[in-house]
Amino acid sequence: MRTHEHMGFEEYAAARQRHLYRTAHLLCGDAHRAQDLTQTTLAKLFQHWRRVSRADNLDAYARTVLTRTYLSEQRRRVLARRAGLLRGDPGPRDDSDLRLTLLDALAELPPRARAMVVLRYWEDLSVETVAELLRCSTGTVKSQCSRALVRLRDRLGAAELYVGD
């Protein structure tokens, strides 16, 4: 028997799952990890749906859960790599065809800077909202986004050399 509460979650998940997936894909740059991030986010939302459903902005709440889950996962991966638990990093790829893609350029950014760029420019959130979401100052968001955009422009600018070859 499904309760009204569960039906509310199912409706929300069905309506917003695709958007959460796109954001997750931009954050992590991998389709499979994006699916996992999306499912983990939805599982966390479901687990606390009674409280979540009373939030002023469900999308903002879900985006916060998604972003914090991504950053937490990244921290665990870095620690595991340092401990020698993760092996087989794919290393450099022959990506001459992919150099023009934004995902490859985003992949080169540190996780927190990547999250800031995605939230600020893909999700079109204000500096203040991103700062609150990531628990940092607005100045940090501005400086990190500025540096990240310079890196993206450099990377994508270099890729323009391959256009028309």
Burial class (CB in 10 A: 0-12, 13-18, 19+), 163: exposed
pLDDT of residue 61: 94
Q: Does 71 share its domain with 115?
A: no
pLDDT of residue 37: 95
pLDDT surpasses 50 at 116: yes
Share above pLDDT 70 across residues of the chain, in percent, rounded to a whole number = 78
In sequence order, the 6+-apart residues with CB closer than 8 A to the CB of 108 are 151, 155
By residue range, what is the domain housing residue 117? 94-165
The predicted-structure confidence for 6-41, as pLDDT tens digits, reads as follows 778 999 999 999 999 999 999 998 899 999 999 999
Show which of 49, 73, 89 is a domain's final residue.
89
Q: Of 110, 111, 146, 140, whose CA–CA distance to 128 is shortest?
A: 140
Regarding whether 2 and 76 lie in a shared domain, the answer is yes
Please indicate whether residue 62 or residue 2 has the higher confidence score (pLDDT): 62
CATH of the domain at 46: 1.10.1740
Provide the CATH number for the domain around residue 143.
1.10.10.10
103 plus 68 within the same structural domain:
no
My answer on whether 101 and 60 are in the same domain is no
pLDDT in tens, 32-57: 999 999 999 999 999 999 999 999 99
Average pLDDT over all residues of the chain? 82
Q: Are residues 103 and 125 in the same domain?
A: yes
pTM beyond 0.95? no
Last residue of a domain, one of 74, 89, 104: 89
Considering the domain architecture, whether residues 39 and 17 belong to the same structural domain is answered as yes
Name the domain boundary from 62, 89, 116. 89
Average of per-residue pLDDT across 124-152: 92
Number of domains into which the chain is organized: 2
Q: Residue 74: its pLDDT value, please?
A: 87
74 and 101 co-located in one domain: no
Q: What is the pLDDT of residue 36?
A: 94
- How deeply is 60 buried, as exposed, middle or buried, from its count of CB atoms within 10 A (0-12, 13-18, 19+)? middle
Q: Quick one: pLDDT at residue 98?
A: 44
* 162 vs 84 pLDDT, higher one: 84
Whether 9 and 37 share a structural domain: yes
Residue 110 and residue 61 in one domain: no
Same domain, 57 and 119: no
Residue 45 and residue 75 in one domain? yes
Given a cut of 70, whether residue 93 has pLDDT beyond it is no
